[in-house]
Amino acid sequence: MYGRLADQIRGHQGQMMRRSKELDALMVKGYSALFDNDAQVLSVIAGRGERYIEIGTYCGGSALVAGLAGCEVHCIDTWDYTRRQDLKQVGHYFPVEADVRENWAAAGLDPDRLHLYQHRTPPLPEEVRN
User: For the chain, what are the domain ranges?
Assistant: 4-129
Q: DSSP letter at 37? A: T
The answer to whether residues 74 and 62 touch, using CB atoms and an 8 Å cutoff, is no
Span 69-96, average pLDDT: 76
pLDDT averaged over every residue in the chain: 76
What is the model's pLDDT at position 71? 92
- For residue 49, how far is the Cα from the chain centroid? 16
CATH number of 4-129: 3.40.50
What phi and psi values does residue 102 have, to the nearest 5 degrees?
Answer: -65, -40
What is the model's pLDDT at position 35? 72
Confidence of residue 91 (pLDDT cuts 50, 70, 90): low
**Per-residue pLDDT tens over the stretch 21-34:** 777 777 888 777 67
Q: Does the pLDDT at position 58 exceed 80?
A: yes
| Among candidate residues 70, 76, 20, the one with its CA nearest the CA of residue 44 | 70
